[in-house]
Amino acid sequence: MIIASHLRHACANMGKGLTQMPERMTRLTLIQRSLIVLLALSTVLLPAGMQAAPDAGSVATGAWGGEHIVLEVSEKGAEVELDCAHGEVTQHISLGRHGDFDVAGTFTPEHGGPVRRDENPQPASARYFGRVEGDTMSLTVTLGKEKVGDFTLTRGARPNLTKCR
């Protein structure tokens, strides 16, 4: 630790000989030594505080669960599973500066009972928007102007789904 050695040397010698120097020279020396100490401390302390943080610019990947919903987030988007519907987001979900997001996706309603062979439900255009604060997400799903629902999800939580059967 060369820096630590220089720092100890600068601090130890800071007061030596100050009484023998003219006043202007003393101030200049104190300023120079103070700057050296600050520079040495910044090179030691700053890298320690600059550890990589999780990417706050996007929704964390993995499962987000809540009442009647699970959202499985990937780098490419998300898959949504609800009690009687499912949906998909086919783009990366980026967060705004306050943790908010708003992305387009699809929403496909489902129903209970048997599904006919010729039955092929068409996905509808939907919007998925909300906010992430830590491990909690508030999510609103809309179809045009119609609100499908508001949900609160927790990262890593098990969903409470009751599928239509």
Predicted confidence band at 26 (pLDDT cuts at 50, 70, 90)?
low
**Boundary of a domain, candidates 27, 49, 71:** 49
Instruction: Write the burial class of residue 126 (CB in 10 Å: 0-12 exposed, 13-18 middle, 19+ buried).
Output: buried
pLDDT average, residue stretch 120-138: 94
Q: What percent of the chain has pLDDT over 90?
A: 54
Residues 17, 38 within the same domain:
yes
Work out how many domains the chain is built from and give that number.
Answer: 2
Q: Which residue has the higher pLDDT, 105 or 165?
A: 105
Task: Tell me, yes or no, whether 69 and 142 share the same domain.
Answer: yes
Residue 148 belongs to domain spanning: 62-155
Instruction: For residue 29, name the pLDDT band (cuts at 50, 70, 90).
Output: low
Model-level pTM greater than 0.75?
A: no
**Residues 143 and 124: beta-carbon distance below 8 Å:** yes
Long-range contacts of 42-51 (CB under 8 A, 24+ apart): 43/3, 44/3, 44/4, 44/7
Can you give the pLDDT at residue 19? 52
Share of the chain above pLDDT 70, in %: 65
Q: Flag whether 55 is in a domain.
A: no
